[in-house]
């Protein structure tokens, strides 16, 4: 697998909109004075006859007090050291692009310009590597959290940034965020994000189609139910020939916690107990099948496999 730096000297749409809202939303904190080393490259790999490209939307940090609110410091330090993870929780945003014959699919769309200033690079980077808006045939969402969904909105126009693509989300996910009083159904720090999600879904309206778990949403792409992080969260199984890759979304989010301590509660999960059950079942299945994975927030570029380690698991980067 090789990585290719993204270069470009034109003034991007992101540059034009930089003066717009850069508010930190959802209780997630940008890195402040710390230097966050956002991935500045795309990364390509073949899967059968398909080409998989990972494109970074940027990087952000999360306070451990938010995502691991119930864990003693000593336990966290021990786990992180055992997995070689830095104590600062820095989340990549690894967006997966699949080109397979006539299909050019995006799995999630990044955050767009309105979530936090260190994110929102995905759309411009697609243009910089020669993928035009009208080239995209499918946009598939793992879930509707801001860093996965808000980038779909065209910041210089109305509706989607990819107007010719079929946009697909799990029915349970769409219906959850469109429900009245959504701000009362999420953790307190996600209230403002929830209203923003609902507003964007309403703006897209019927442009978003819905599918069920297990349904093939494009040739070689099928939704896999992985609920808990959000009620309708899905992963996406990508198949080409005899090869398979699972795009995890946020079903597994951290290389130490999600793999080494899957029963620990993660603070941004809407249904923590269900998320624990999902993680354990998913890890067992992926380890058994030795399937390749892409993790949206795993260390750049998020490509690897699940391996058993004692009574838990480890993330083996490719």
Q: How many domains does the chain have?
A: 1
Distance in angstroms (rounded) separating the CA atoms of residues 83 and 89: 13
* The pTM of the whole model exceeds 0.85: yes
Cβ-Cβ contacts under 8 Å for 161 (sequence gap 6 or more): 109, 123, 133, 151, 152, 153, 154, 155
CATH of the domain at 223: 3.60.15.10
Distance in angstroms (rounded) separating the CA atoms of residues 236 and 174: 16
Tell me what pLDDT residue 213 has: 86
Tell me what pLDDT residue 153 has: 97
**Mutual angle of helices 171-178 and 191-204, in 10-degree steps:** 110
Is residue 43 assigned to a domain?
yes
Distance in angstroms (rounded) separating the CA atoms of residues 301 and 94: 6
Tell me what pLDDT residue 251 has: 98
Is residue 8 assigned to a domain?
no
Structural domain containing residue 176? 16-317
264 phi and psi angles, rounded to 5 deg: -75, 140
Is residue 40 assigned to a domain?
yes
Is residue 35 assigned to a domain?
yes
Is residue 6 assigned to a domain?
no
The SS3 of residue 176 is: helix
Is residue 242 assigned to a domain?
yes
Tell me what pLDDT residue 27 has: 38
Structure tokens at 17: 């909109």
Is residue 213 assigned to a domain?
yes
pLDDT digits (tens, 9 = 90+) for 245-278: 999 999 999 999 999 999 999 999 999 999 999 9
Is residue 7 assigned to a domain?
no
Tell me what pLDDT residue 9 has: 32
pLDDT digits (tens, 9 = 90+) for 151-174: 999 988 789 999 999 999 999 999
DSSP state of 71: S
Kind plus residue range of the DSSP H or E element containing 238: strand 234-240
Where the chain has pLDDT below 50, the residues are 1-39
């Amino acid at each position: 697998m090789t990585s290719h730096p993204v270069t470009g000297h034109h003034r991007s749409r992101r540059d034009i909109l930089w003066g717009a809202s850069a508010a930190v939303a959802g209780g997630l904190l940008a890195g402040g004075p710390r230097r966050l080393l956002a991935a500045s490259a795309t990364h390509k790999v073949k899967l059968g006859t398909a080409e998989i490209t990972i494109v970074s939307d940027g990087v952000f940090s999360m306070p451990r007090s938010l995502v691991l609110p119930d864990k003693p410091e000593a336990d966290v330090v021990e786990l992180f050291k055992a997995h070689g993870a830095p104590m600062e929780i820095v989340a990549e945003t690894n967006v997966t692009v699949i080109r397979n014959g006539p299909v050019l699919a995006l799995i999630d769309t990044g955050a767009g310009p309105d979530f936090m200033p260190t994110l929102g690079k995905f759309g411009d980077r697609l243009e910089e590597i020669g993928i035009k808006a009208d080239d995209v045939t499918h946009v598939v969402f793992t879930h509707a959290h801001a860093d996965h969904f808000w980038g779909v909105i065209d910041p210089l126009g109305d509706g989607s940034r990819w107007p010719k693509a079929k946009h697909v989300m799990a029915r349970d996910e769409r219906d959850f965020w469109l429900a009245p009083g959504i701000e009362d159904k999420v953790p307190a720090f996600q209230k403002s994000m929830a209203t923003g999600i609902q507003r964007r879904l309403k703006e897209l309206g019927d442009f978003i189609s819905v599918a069920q778990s297990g349904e093939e949403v494009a040739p070689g792409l099928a939704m896999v139910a992985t609920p808990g992080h959000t009620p309708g969260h899905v992963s996406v199984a990508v198949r080409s020939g005899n090869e398979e890759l699972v795009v995890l979304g946020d079903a597994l989010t951290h290389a130490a916690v999600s793999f080494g301590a899957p029963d620990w509660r993660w603070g941004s999960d809407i249904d923590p107990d269900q998320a624990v059950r999902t993680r354990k079942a998913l890890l067992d299945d992926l380890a058994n099948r030795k399937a390749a994975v892409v993790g949206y927030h795993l260390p750049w570029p998020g490509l690897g496999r699940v391996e058993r380690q004692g009574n838990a698991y480890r993330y083996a980067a490719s």
